[in-house]
Structure 1
């Protein structure tokens, strides 16, 4: 978040006095959170006060304050997945949303509009709680970076009046109740038809919000460079040019949270793999290399790292029944060491396949390591037992 200007410091003092009667947590009352309301209203104290009071009333009357105590329907999590991948270079959280696969029209026509809106509000409140748990009085984290993958988007997903009303209502709620929480958004693989939805949405967004949105097409070289300029590769899924082959969906974290009485959740980190622990093989042009490991009992952790010398390679991780667990067509293993972890739900064989079948003329030098570890209380602190 940008440093305060002299005008903002003066405005903050007056704003704090005006809203002294509103019961806010230490986190929401911190200057770096109060400034969000002022910036959203161009330092107009009257408008900022109206805005935050409306937000307080909305939370009280719409059940937002206790939304985290309610279960999230499995069907909504399944149909509207996303990934919390880590942090940007400033420590703010990063999330990937496969927006092009979110079928908004189906949720409206199936009568699940209320469940979907509750799901979005649930995730936002969960993010606030997570940000508060990471923050201190000296360091506040209160913004998010979004990578919105538009691949697969079609107007059919949104082209009905009730669906458009749903989307515009959500957008308006985000602008009114969560100002300045968006740090930046990368909208990648955006097709031409998306311009129609964007034209409808733009009038509801402030100029400050619009300035943070980068809309890019299918040129991966362009958006990979822009994303990695702000986010370390270890916190970007391999599919998007980073180094995380196994970033989990949000249901992973919801499950972890449900197993704790108090809010005790952290983002899963992949462990680095030392170069001396890697084996080297040549994957022939047009060929594949497979590594099979056997896990003796459920709950064990598989950990891996791999890189190639000069070119990318495909990566497939599956169980012994040939069911794909991770399938990435091509990863930038020549740019970043690719890392991953997986808790095995059952004993048996697991197969790592490095696929060079798309490269008919070039063999690949692959360096890889696979380790079997004992997961420790699901917190991924492990001791290597076998490799």
Structure 2
């Protein structure tokens, strides 16, 4: 454990400088990256800070040509989700906002516990409290992606504010509580979605985790980690620490007992021992999808060949909304919306085995919109999509 701690501390020390400790090389690279991405940064001015750009540089070994398309996708996604216009004032507000996003949000464990004494955001995920087999019946894949991306970006709004005050780079401390772990959590369809989510979050938020503490590890932890670790970047894997039975003292030392809810060994005040962290549980049947949606009827079938994509073009008028529902015949498919070659609805890889993709989009600009079903990642087999898109 001590050797792992030493390695993590070294990573943290190198990665979290004060603004006065930036090297000339780092300053030059920040300036170069800012110059080459000024058009996309202009769409989200709040994002344009030295430490935000440094996260990209550190996360991708200062390879600016590699960073630019990834950063473009990330900021486009955040803007498409309205994060550039979202005002975040406190951790408590974030937890409330996430719960308001969906009636199902409460059943996906997680939430922000607060900030450490140092200023890092502390994210708690009691993953073992999830019930995957009912969760997949209660909402589309994209809804989970939107929730998690929004929650992470709201956390970074807090981080950017703290960085501005302290003039020091901050990060996120993630605590994964596996108390109550059971084999249902390895349910193959939902595990695939969770792996896609991890990949997505790492692509949008490079160098986001300062520490990843895993507590209450089950006996088969090595098997579980072996399943998940392939989608973790080497930098993320370096920050993972499996804590022993003395984990409460470890967390108190790292975060401060006044910043930890009572359920996890701290004395942070709240009417509930778990605070306002979402604690999962079975999703009630009243929230399951029941095929009664008005768009289920008269759907159009299209075929999407392997290694290709199919486009559906629709005309939209300012002030109206597109509404859609679709299912893919097998596996998953990438879905997005573009206008004039610009992405206006994020690219998400969606699975519809248990719940159709259902969504809506407010039309900000009159003209032709392109709905894209992309199977480029499918190497051998084509897929059929049955969809219905309306304008109201």
Deviation at 1:38, TM superposition (A): 0.9
Q: Distance in 2 between matches of 1:241 and 1:8?
A: 39
Q: Which residue of 1 aligns with 2:248?
A: 224
For residues 214-363 of structure 1, the aligned pairs below 5 Å read 214-217=241-244, 219=245, 221=246, 223-244=247-268, 246=270, 248-250=275-277
Deviation at 1:42, TM superposition (A): 0.6
> Would you say the 8 A contact 2:43–2:79 is kept in 1?
no
Say what the alpha-carbon RMSD is for the aligned residues: 2.9
Bigger share in helix: 2
Describe the superposition over 1:130-165 as per-residue Cα deviations: whole angstroms up to 9, x where unpaired: 3345453763665211221100112212322x2122
- Do residues 101 (structure 1) and 115 (structure 2) align? no
1:225–1:166 Cα change, 3 Å: same
> Would you say the 8 A contact 2:217–2:242 is kept in 1?
yes
Which of 64, 70, 77 in structure 2 is aligned with 1:51?
A: 70
Relative to the length of structure 2, the TM-score reads 0.56
Q: Which residue of 2 aligns with 1:75?
A: 104
> Would you say the 8 A contact 1:37–1:51 is kept in 2?
no
Q: Which residue of 2 aligns with 1:40?
A: 59
> Would you say the 8 A contact 1:239–1:245 is kept in 2?
no
The higher-RCO structure (CA 8 Å, 6+ apart) is: 2
Deviation at 1:172, TM superposition (A): 0.5
SS in structure 1 at match of 2:249: helix
Structure with greater Cα Rg: 1
Q: Which residue of 2 aligns with 1:30?
A: 49
- Do residues 20 (structure 1) and 38 (structure 2) align? yes
1:134–1:89 Cα change, 3 Å: closer
- Do residues 153 (structure 1) and 177 (structure 2) align? no
For residues 152-191 of structure 1, the aligned pairs below 5 Å read 152-160=180-188, 162-191=189-218
List alignment gaps of at least 5 residues for structure 2.
1-14, 88-96, 279-392
Q: Distance in 1 between matches of 2:81 and 2:104?
A: 22
- Do residues 130 (structure 1) and 154 (structure 2) align? no
- Do residues 196 (structure 1) and 223 (structure 2) align? yes
SS in structure 1 at match of 2:38: coil
Deviation at 1:187, TM superposition (A): 0.8
Relative to the length of structure 1, the TM-score reads 0.57
Describe the superposition over 1:352-378 as per-residue Cα deviations: whole angstroms up to 9, x where unpaired: xxxxxxxxxxxxxxxxxxxxxxxxxxx
Q: Distance in 2 between matches of 1:15 and 1:87?
A: 29
Q: Distance in 1 between matches of 2:53 and 2:173?
A: 20
